[in-house]
Every structure is written in C-alpha cells, then in structure tokens.
A and B are shown apart, each in its own frame.
Chain A
Amino acid sequence: MSDTPLITAQNLSVHYPLRAGIIGPKPYVAAVENVTIEVAAGSFFGLVGESGSGKTTLGRAMLRAAPITKGDVLFDDGEVSYALKNLGKAELKDYRKRAQLIFQDPYAALSPRMTVRDIIAEPLEVMGLTKSRAETDERVREIADKCRLNVEHLRRFPHAFSGGQRQRISIARALVSGPKFIVADESVAALDVSIQADVLNLLKAIQEDMGLTFLFISHDLSVVAHVCDHVAVMYLGRLVETAPTRTLFSTPRHPYTKALLSAIPSLDPDDRGKAQKLVGEIPSPTNPPPGCKFQTRCPAAIDKCRKIEPVLESAGPEHHVACHRWKELSIAE
C-alpha cells in the first residue's frame, strides 16, 4: 500500500431533484453531502453505515454511475489522471475499463441465458479489449482460474451454481478488463457465513496478487474489521468518522460509530443487555434535521448540536471525526 491516493472524492455532493413546486427553490435530496475521502492505492477501504446513509451513492459517484452535483472525484493510477465530473466520452469509456463494480446479489447480477464464459467475456467484447476469440478465451480462462472456476464451469449456465460460486463469477467479470479500482457493494451480504469467509479471502488474495484498490461497502462492521485497512462511517449522506481500521475499532470517537459497534450482537450469551441501544431510526433524507444529522438519535446531543452542523476535525493520525463533543466525551470515558 502506498500513500498516494488512487482515487479521491473532494467535497463531493450528489443531489437528486424532487418534484418541484410552482414557486420557491427547487427541492432536492442530498444523498451525499460534502464528502471528502482519499483511497490510497492498493488499500482496502471500508465504507459503512445503515441503509439510507448514502454509502452506495458515494460508491456509484466514484464510478461516475451517479451524477456529481458539487465537488469532484479525482482518479490517478499513474497512467492516466481524470477529474470525473467533466469527463469526455472517450475518457469515460477508458475509465470504465479501469474502475469496476461487484454487485450485492449474485442471483440477480448474472443473466440466466448466458453461459459463464459469455458472462465473463462480455466486458472484453463490449469494450473491444481483445482482438480475436482465441485471445478472449485465453483472458477468460486466466481470470476464471484466479477466481477458482475451472474450464468445465465456463460451459455451464448460472443456475447450476451455488451463491458462493456465482459471486466468484461476478468477481471474475469485474476483473476481466484489468481494472485498478473496484467497488464491492455489499458483495458478501447475500452469502452464508461459511461461504462468506471464502469469498472475502478470495477478494483479499486477488487484491494482493493484482495490486488492486478496493472500496468495500458494507453494513456489517465485523466483516469490515477483518478485511479493510481504513474505514469511513457515513450517516445521512455525511461522513461522520474516518480512521485506520484498528484505530476506529479500538477508539471510536463519534457517538454513532460507538452505537453501531455496540449494536452488533455478541457471540457471548452472557453479554445480554450490555449493548448501548440507539433509539429511533435514520431520518428521511428529504427532511433532514438541522444541525448535526445524528442529533435526533444521539444520547449526547446538546443545544449546539441541534443548531450547528459539525465539521470533520482531526482526532489523531489519519483519524477524523465530525462531532462537537468528541473531546469531552472521550475524556468522560
């Protein structure tokens, strides 16, 4: 892992328009608001948050698959350097080759009418990356082998495979164009635990082998803790805390991160009732609360939190937190 970022989201906002009224300003939903993250080349960057926190939208915006309203996303892999907001057609096509997505549900992501070989070969054909069928076949076999799929598998259709095998097919398809940056959006959420560990180990092995950079989106903090180097926590479109994995899990500073960690059901039956419970639910992004977005559920909210939105401040090396009270709360512990 190097310190130079492969991809950077700079004050990135993604707004979606709502149906406009006759008068007044155009209403919109801020799915992502003023988020800055740097994903170092060769890192496994985790993005966590509840449903509705904007983590998927942020991931998509970094692939230029969601509109960038404000700010920008900068990509630099040493060969090319792009600012994604204003990317020409040819450049965008080239970027698609360099940045790929692995979906959540391996049952929905694969066409049931195509053989596994055709599914994996499709990106090569669409992007025109190979010159002959023989070359395509060779590239497909090579990548299938990396994902532990054999030649026999390539002839079959997706229905013949289990969830774990299907996810390996999706991974092979994402890797076949030789990307540098992969967004894995809840890529193990649909799998059983016994298989989940296998797919996570595969992703890690491939990352090290091919020198890839991952943005790993997940709601499961224990999975993130095991695979990621760096974690960012989102709430209602805002970045609330970001830190190296070890720091985040040993000294979480934001009350939301603390609550998330404590809500994970413990494997110890004698831990019952110890969890710090969060009341209420994530507010609707169409009608966000004023001030800190977390103040409606925060056990430590004071008047200031209800009026002024906190900005990210440094809480240690590479550790940033957006909370007015993190210092006094950490002393109180």
Chain B
Amino acid sequence: MSRLIDVENLTLQFDTDEGRITAVDDVSFSLEAGEVMGLVGESGSGKSVTAKSLMKLNPRNAVYGPDTKITLHLDDGPVDVMSLQNNAEMKIVRGGAISLIFQEPMASFAPAISIGDQMVEQLMIHTSFSKAQAKELSIEMLDRVGISDPSTRFGQYAFELSGGMRQRAMIAMALSTKPKLLIADEPTTALDVTIQAQVIDLMKDLVSEFGMGIIFITHDLGVIAQTADKVAVMYLGRLVEQGTVRDVIRRPAHPYTRGLIAALPTLDDIDAPLTPIPGDIPSPLERPPGCVYNTRCQEVIGPRCSTEIPAFYPVDTDHAAACHLHDPQESTS
C-alpha cells in the first residue's frame, strides 16, 4: 500500500462572539490507499470538522494552527493542502482527489435539479468529459451502486427517491470522479438497519474495486467494527486512542473508549446493566486543562490528569492511547 494522506498537528479554532473556540487540537494521523479508517466520537468531539479540514472546507472564521500540515500524496506528487489559497486551486482537492458523503442525503441534493443533472455538473467541472460521456458514466455509476432502472432515476429528483436510494445515488455521485480519498460523514446514521447493512456492503465492495482510502465518521462502534481497518477515537477535539479495529474494540486502552464500549447495549447479554459515562461532554468554551477527559474519567490517577496533557503512549504494535495510565513511568513508580 502507498501512503495517501498525512495529517500532522492539525489544530483548528473558530473565532466567535464568545471568544476563540478550539474545535480540533493537535491531531495527527495518516492513511494508506485502500485503507478504511473509522473516526469515532460523540457529537461535539470534532470529528466532522477534522474531516472537512482535509479540504479546508470550513467557514471563514476558522483559524488553522501554525504547525498544521496536511499532505496529500497524488500521482503527480505531494500536495500541501494548507498552502492552497483560492477556490480554483482547491479544485484538485475538493471533489477531485477527495469526495465527501454527508449524513442526510435529502439535504445534500439540490431539490429542484434532477439527480442526473447534478451528477453531470460535477463531472463537467472535474473531468474533461463531454456532456454525453458524463451522462453515460453517471448512469453506469447509478447502476453500479445497485439502483434499478438507472436511466429513469437519472432524470428524477431527490424527493422521488427513498432514503436508502438517495444515499446510494450520493455514493455514486461521490465516486464518479474517481477520488483517491472518500470521506463518509455518518453515511448510514439516517438509514434503517436493513438498509444500513446494504450500504455498508456496497461501500466495502467499492473500496476493494476502486482502491481508494476511506475516512468513515460515525458514532456507532458496531458500524466501525464491520467496516474499518483501523480506528481513531476523538474526544473534545483531541485524538485519545488509535489502533487497528481489533485492538481498539477488543482491548480498548483509553478510559473513554472503554466507557463508550461499556455504554453500548449489545445483544450478547441482554441482562447486563447499561453503564453510562457520567456527566456530559464539556462545552468547547470550557475545555478542561490537562487531559480533556479528566472531568468524566473513572480512572483518574492523580493531579497529573488535570494539569498535564497526556502524550500518545504505545500499548501494542500499531496501538496507542493518550492517557497517563500508559506512561511507562507511572507503572514503575
């Protein structure tokens, strides 16, 4: 596999009336081509903002940290995303090398333009296809994602399609430009479980066929277990744990990940009590000092947790957690 994207020290703040809010704090990760990374966290953890940063798709009041470095490795050489200034320059990244699928497929299609016209429009912008070629490819893609009678669907509007069908069309549209990286932001959250299972299957097929990298954002650890190769867990703008999907789900190392898994109702033991994580995620205006999770953590080991930001300590090969519990010096003392 070859390296697809490197994100180093991504920090993102928003200027608001109430002050400067930190949404993403010193996040680093990388992704290989053909790899699926799950990005997990509660609402407000900064997972969507992180993903959108990869194409600088954030509002004007966003301020990136000076050390932020995002490198996209394309066939023609590396692209430094942070150095791209205007919309024309961003075109190679937005919709070109990176496509984005949103959570709510009804809101992501324009209601008064047919599905087909929207698919053709983006192909005309990003490729050198003629209109006829673009139409042909669009219909082919609709067929590929399992939409029956694709040429009829091509002329229909978003409201004429069911939820699952719309999400399929969205995926067809996102993939028609052959992106290197697909960002899927809660793509199955609005769908019923039976439809969710179909869409997950489809996405897995497409990864192996197109060989692209996927960042799969979700709050559902079950969906992650079924799709991702590796997992990054976020809390209040910081990465707290990274590792392969088996390691993180079977041997969670960060107290937050452990809490998330314990809070999940499972069918294996329906009599097991549900264990909530106490308290609420703090407001980004009142980020706790030290470890961001210390206000809700059940395994605080001392004053260190509320004064010192924990570094990433390895717990296994390819598995690391940002928690003082795993500091080798803590276990020896």
Contacts and interface: CB of A to CB of B under 8 A. Distances in A.
A279 B201 CA distance: 12
Nearest to A264: B193
A192 B43 contact: yes
Contacts of A192: 42-43, 219, 281
Interface in A164-201: 164-165, 192-198, 200-201
A268 interface: yes
Contacts of B222: 264-267
Contacts of B280: 162, 164-165, 195
Interface in A211-241: 219-223, 225-226
Contact of B274 (A197, A271, A277): A197
Interface of B is mostly: helix
B226 A271 contact: yes
B30 to A, nearest CB: 21
Contact of A198 (B162, B221, B276): B276
Interface in B256-282: 259-261, 263-267, 270, 272-277, 280-281
A201 B226 contact: no
Task: Determine the interface band of chain A, counting residues with CB < 8 A from chain B.
Answer: 35 or more
Contacts of B260: 193-194
A226 B272 CA distance: 8
Contacts of B194: 50, 259-260, 263, 278
Interface residues of B, number: 42
B249 A51 contact: no
Contact of B267 (A162, A225, A279): A225
A261 B265 CA distance: 13
B270 A245 contact: yes
A265 B197 contact: yes
Contacts of B277: 194-195, 197
A163 B277 CA distance: 14
Contacts of B267: 221-222, 225, 249, 261, 264
B307 interface: no
B263 A197 contact: yes
A265 B200 contact: yes
Interface of A: 50-51, 162-165, 192-198, 200-201, 219-223, 225-226, 245-246, 249, 259-261, 263-272, 275, 277-279, 281-282
Given A194-B42, A278-B194, 18 more contacts: A51-B163, A193-B42, A194-B260, A194-B263, A194-B276, A195-B277, A195-B280, A197-B265, A220-B265, A221-B193, A225-B270, A226-B272, A263-B194, A265-B220, A265-B223, A267-B249, A269-B246, A282-B192
5 pairs of A and B residues whose beta carbons are closest in the complex: A265-B222, A198-B276, A197-B274, A194-B277, A197-B276
